[in-house]
Amino acid sequence: MDIIKTIKNLANVQMMRYKVASQKGRVTKLENEVHKLQALVRDDILSLVEAETKYVGNKYRTYDSAIAEIDKKYNGTADWGIIQTGTIIDLRAAFSIGDGIKVVQKKVDVQSDNSRKNEGERNKGKEDKNKKSEDREKKWIENFLEYNDLDKEVIQEYAIEAEIEGKLAIKLSPDTITDAKDREQTMINTTFISWSEKKYTVKTDPNDYKHYTELRWKPKDREKDEVLNENEFVYKKFGGRISRPNEAAPKMMKCLTHVENLDRALRDWREINRIFGGPILYMECQNEEEVAKAVAAFNDKNFKVKKILAGTGKLYFVKLDVGGVESIENEIITLAKMISGETGIPVHFLGLPELMSNRATAENLMEMIKAATNKNRETWKGAYEELIRKAIIMYNEVEKTTPLNPDNFSIEIPMITKEHWDHLEKIYLPAAVAGKISDEAFQEQIPGFDIEQERERKEEREASELEQAKRENEDLKTDLNDRNLFGGGGNEPFPKRA
């Protein structure tokens, strides 16, 4: 009976242990849930929606989560990858927009050169009228860009925003300003619309994905949606499928996980150096008694290098095997190469200049930057051409005066590389000197060169030289007349004084 009672007691004890273990498991599970909720409060919820326990190569597979993470990394609030992300976005923006945009006025030819000669003064009058119209439009565009700071830092800020969000939306609206003479004038104001703040959506023509007809978002302080028609906004995508107008794909989106892994590898490297970088002084003893004496002897000593020591134990610095560090270094280099290939930013801009084996390699990588940002530059050209054109149309509708021509200009974004300079020196310049191409064709290849301004300078210089020649000719005639008046005859030399 005692044996049976003992077995029952053991069974009860085992059952109690099982219940305690089960309760502990539930408590642990609840603690994990609490930690997840705390993480949701601490971090951006969008960045954690896609979090999974399985191993994946891309943790940010939706536009919302990727943009939220890029925003945190660029602003320096993320846990990993802030340095690399900030460098890549700033450099891509700088290379995409260069020194800013250049407005090129289109020349309006009334008729051909032969017809101008035949028509005479009538066509001359038309040329003067067109020249005044061109000057008026050019001046208005310059004022528009200056008013919206698009000739200064704002154009770089827009490029950064486009690198973060992968798309750009700008609102246009008329604004009344007062000039220096207290006269009211109309100017068109531009306002950047952030997707991260507004969560706007665009609507396209059913038959044309590139024709954006409406932009809409829900204001925080109003119940009614704010809607812009196609003449009131400019929208451009810098990545993603053309058939999905609301889904963009910035370059950083595809390599966010790689950037984080690179930063983690750097941290691992730092931890290994912290542990193994400091030498450990070790004394080899024969028995426990010697160990106790050695520990006591060094316990209150401030040991310094070059200090003389003497004793029965063997004293030396422990050298630990750190061969695994090479694997981490290779991981860092490989990740940097992968990120460079995706974003177009050379590895030496990511902090690895030693990977540039020679000058030719570095120059080739600069060509890589040009190729990687070429699509962006073309998109920016179209964006600013559309922006200025819509601004002119809106201005004409408000002012109701002599309309400006919204199509009498184009946009250029100058960018120069060594290859471009080589073409100028070895191809265009010899062709221009030999007369195979015109001076204008050569000048168009020079970045930042204003052909119209140079043409005006040339015309002013030629007109001044012509006036000078006319004055010299008049002086010569006066001198000849004076000679004839005092006895000179025709082509006879001036008589000598007796």
Which residue do the tokens 């030399």 mark?
493
Most confident of 284-288, 297-301, 316-320: 284-288
For 250, the 3-state DSSP assignment is coil
Is the pLDDT at 165 greater than 90? The verdict is yes
Phi, psi (degrees; rounded to nearest 5) at 310: -145, 140
Task: With cut-offs at 50, 70 and 90, classify the pLDDT of residue 373.
Answer: confident
Please state whether beta strands 280-284 and 233-237 pair in parallel, antiparallel, or not at all (unpaired). Answer: unpaired
Task: With cut-offs at 50, 70 and 90, classify the pLDDT of residue 497.
Answer: very low
Phi, psi (degrees; rounded to nearest 5) at 189: -95, 140
- As a whole number of angstroms, the distance between CA 350 and CA 340 comes to 8
Q: Does 77 or 306 have the greater pLDDT score?
A: 77
Four-point Cα dihedral 161, 158, 376, 151, nearest 10: -160
- As a whole number of angstroms, the distance between CA 421 and CA 463 comes to 33
pLDDT recorded at residue 390: 96
- Provide CB contacts within 8 A for 30, sequence distance 6+: none
Determine the average pLDDT of the residues in 268-294: 79
Determine the average pLDDT of the residues in 152-157: 89
Determine the average pLDDT of the residues in 155-165: 94
> Which one-letter amino acid corresponds to residue 55?
Y
pLDDT recorded at residue 494: 46
pLDDT recorded at residue 128: 56
List pLDDT tens digits, range 439-489.
Answer: 777 677 766 666 667 777 777 777 777 777 777 777 777 776 666 655 554
- As a whole number of angstroms, the distance between CA 469 and CA 54 comes to 86
Determine the average pLDDT of the residues in 121-131: 54
Cross-strand partners of 208: 205
Phi, psi (degrees; rounded to nearest 5) at 204: -115, 165
Task: With cut-offs at 50, 70 and 90, classify the pLDDT of residue 115.
Answer: very low
pTM beyond cutoff 0.75: no
- As a whole number of angstroms, the distance between CA 317 and CA 54 comes to 43
pLDDT recorded at residue 113: 44
Is the pLDDT at 212 greater than 70? The verdict is yes
Phi, psi (degrees; rounded to nearest 5) at 118: -75, -35
Determine the average pLDDT of the residues in 356-371: 67
> Which one-letter amino acid corresponds to residue 363?
E
Which residue do the tokens 């200064």 mark?
152
Task: With cut-offs at 50, 70 and 90, classify the pLDDT of residue 89.
Answer: very high
